[in-house]
Amino acid sequence: MLNLIHLNGKGKVERCFRTVKDGFFNTLDWNTITSIQQLQELYTEYLNTEYINKSHSAINNTPRERFMQDYENIVRKTDEQIEECFLHKATRNVRNDATISFSNMIYEVPQEYIKKYITIKYSPDNLETLYIYSDKNERLHTVKAIDKISNSKVKRADNINLYREGRNNV
């Protein structure tokens, strides 16, 4: 049943494209178009006069009127929700030092993921920040790229005991 609904919706979209192609694109004199802005203006005029405000026999209404019937049912997404839909996805294996490598950068992740595979999502425009997601597609953590220069200047204790307590130093 779901496939049938999907196909019906797809047919409606394809019919819209065909109508626009036949009624607008195929009727243009392309030699007179001098700019994208001019094409946009002609298309907007076509939509307003010939498509969305003209009664369609299949719905016995104009597309604008039909859209307005269900306007209050439209759920608006926030910009953040929309951005999240377009994140890219990858899988990485977490090293013993709780880091992953991605796009020639190193990221520190929570230690609970050591020796495990994790799903990360990221924006190709901003590789400084990655997000760890669960198998249920829930955002769990945000991780940042390690700044190797700053990390190398961190003050550390001078006397590091390389041996665990209770063992003999040999």
Considering the entire predicted model, what is its pTM?
0.55
Tens digits of residue pLDDT in 125-162: 999 999 999 999 999 999 999 887 776 676 766 665 65
For 44-77, the DSSP string reads HHHIIIIITTS-BTTTTB-HHHHHHHTGGGPPPP
Asked if residue 109 lies in contact with residue 133, where contact means CB atoms within 8 angstroms, the answer is no
How far is it, in rounded angstroms, from Cα 51 to Cα 24?
10
* Architecture of the structural domain at 80-152: Roll (2.30)
pLDDT at residue 67, as a whole number: 86
Q: What are the structure tokens assigned to 164, written together?
A: 């665990």
The angle subtended at Cα 138 by Cα 133 and Cα 144, nearest 5°, is: 40
Question: Where are the extended beta strands (E) located within the chain?
Answer: 88-93, 99-102, 105-108, 117-123, 126-133, 139-144
Tens digits of residue pLDDT in 94-124: 999 999 999 999 999 999 999 999 999 999 9
| Range with the poorest average pLDDT among 16-30, 31-45, 96-110, 125-139 | 16-30
Which residues fall within 8 angstroms of residue 102, CB to CB, at 6 or more apart? 90, 92, 120, 122, 127, 130
pLDDT at residue 141, as a whole number: 96
Tens digits of residue pLDDT in 59-108: 888 888 988 988 899 898 999 999 999 999 999 999 999 999 999 999 99
